[in-house]
Amino acid sequence: MADQAFVTLATNDSYSLGAMVLGKSLRNHNTTRKLVVLVGPNVSEPRQSVLRRIYDDVKVVDVLDSGDTAHLALMKRPDLGVTLTKLHCWTLTQYSKCVFMDADTLVLSNIDELFDREELSAAPDPGWPDCFNSGVFVFRPSVETYGKLLQYCTEKGSFDGGDQGVLNGFFNDWATADISKHLPFVYNLSSIAIYTYLPAFKQFGGSAKVVHFLGQTKPWSYTFDPQTKQISGGSQEAPTHPAFLLDWWTLYASAVVPMLQEQYGDEPFLTGCMESQESDTTVTTETVQVESSSSHAPMEPVMSSEQRKEQWEQGQADYMGMDSFDNIKRKLDTFLK
């Protein structure tokens, strides 16, 4: 077991918060595998120090500085910076098998059985199920594969601009070759699926093992009040899976904040957008009261997509709130980006 590891990546301080919560969630569910986080050189020292308390190995990766083929690849394709950093996980050759998890994922139960799978195992992407989602995948570190991936990356690029496009291009028989490489969707449950297929979420969401806060607004973009358990702000629309969001915040507030406070002093660390993405400039005051998913059946979004669609069709769009022009424009912008 010492030669198998869960691996994540954080290139900046905001994603490091996600990595802290993910690491804690893996520990809380008693994983027997090692925990590794790849960090960019921009992750500040106090954050790295907290990560070292959670992870077995905090590895600073600077693809710009590496002097290897990744460096050359990046010279040709500066647009693929974070992507190339993520591919770096293939260089962890002291491990024979790893499970990569995005820093915006949260583990809800022990998932060590994923190590029974082979490279490249992943769950379907909710937006295009013939592609796999690269937020959770099983892989085998190998210098040879790493080299081939970088070569693929520089020559073919990424059809979506990110690592998911590269990886789906490279492992392009995933959809057809071997069904055992299709992870069940509950290993990478994303908000968008809840939103687009609510009855399935009601039926199967209770057995979710990993939730993925995919998309522009990350859990750490919100603000949390531990007294009232209210999550607010950070987003242009109400969170689509508030129960899981509350799980994230509950773990963050109870297990991560005390460690941050040891580093930085008594700041509360509960306000959103802690040096978060530049795009998060607008904060609304939309607030939701939610209950934790661990003690309850999966909850519906504040208003289901169905309800919202119905209201919209009846001419009752929420023009001042969820359906305001600004929100619609922002939504379109995220699709066009």
The only residue of 6, 7, 13, 15 in contact with ligand UDP, by rule CB under 6 A: 15
Residue with Cβ nearer Mn ion (135 or 165): 135
Both tokens of 231, joined, read 């999550």
- If we measure between CA atoms, which residue out of 332, 223, 333 comes closest to residue 288? 223
Residue among 5, 7, 9, 149 that touches ligand UDP (CB under 6 A): 9
Q: In this structure, are residues 196 and 126 in contact, taking their beta carbons and an 8 Å threshold?
A: yes
From the list 10-18, 139-147, 312-320, 326-334, the region that binds ligand UDP by CB under 6 A is: 10-18
User: Which of 12, 25, 154, 236 is the binder for ligand UDP (CB under 6 A)?
Assistant: 12
126 binds Mn ion, rule: CB under 5 A? no
In three-state form (DSSP H/G/I as H, E/B as E, the rest C), the secondary structure along 300-323 is CCCCCHHHHHHHHHCCCCCCCCCC
* Residue 215 near ligand UDP by CB under 6 A: yes
Closest approach of ligand UDP to the CB of residue 39, in Å: 8
Applying CB under 5 A, which part among 100-108, 170-178, 188-196, 312-320 lies near Mn ion? Answer: 100-108
| Contact of 104 with 213, CB cutoff 8 Å | yes
Residue 249 in tokens:
């915040």
Report the site for ligand UDP in 65-124 (rule: CB under 6 A): 82, 86, 102-104
The secondary structure of 73-140 as a DSSP string is HHHH-GGGHHHHHHHGGGG-TTSSEEEEE-TTEEE-S--GGGGGS-SSEEEEPSS-TTSEEEEEEEE-
Select the residue interacting with Mn ion from 12, 70, 102, 308 (CB under 5 A): 102
Are 198 and 240 in contact by the 8 Å Cβ rule? The answer is no
- Rule CB under 5 A: say whether 104 interacts with Mn ion: yes
User: Based on CB atoms, which residue is closest to ligand UDP, 147 or 162?
Assistant: 162
Task: Identify which of residues 24 and 86 has a Cβ nearer to ligand UDP in the complex.
Answer: 86
Encoded tokens for 313: 């069709």
Site of tokens 């904060």: 283
Residue 86 interaction partner, one of ligand UDP, Mn ion, none, beta carbon < 5-8 Å per kind: ligand UDP
Q: Beta-carbon neighbour count of residue 254 at 10 Å?
A: 11
CB of 214 to Mn ion, least distance (A): 5
Per-residue x/- mask for Mn ion, residues 170 to 209, rule CB under 5 A? ----------------------------------------
The distance of closest approach from Cβ of residue 13 to ligand UDP in the complex, given in angstroms and rounded to an integer, is 10
C-beta closer to ligand UDP: residue 134 or 154? 134
Nearest distance from C-beta of residue 314 to ligand UDP, angstroms? 33
Nearer to Mn ion, 124 or 135 (CB): 135
Q: What token pair was written down for 319?
A: 């023009």
Backbone angles phi, psi at 36, to 5 degrees: -125, 135
**Residues 29-68, interacting with Mn ion (CB under 5 A):** none
Within positions 135 to 164, which residues make up the interface with ligand UDP, using CB under 6 A? Answer: 135
Using the contact rule CB under 5 A, the part of the chain among 4-12, 51-59, 99-107, 288-296 near Mn ion is 99-107
- Determine how many CB atoms are found less than 10 A away from the CB of residue 44: 14
Integer Cα distance of 208 and 210 in angstroms: 6
> Among the residues of 105-256, which ranges form H helices?
143-156, 163-170, 174-177, 191-196, 198-204, 242-251
Residues of this chain that interact with Mn ion (CB under 5 A) are: 102, 104, 135, 214
Residues near ligand UDP (CB under 6 A): 8-12, 15, 82, 86, 102-104, 135, 214-215
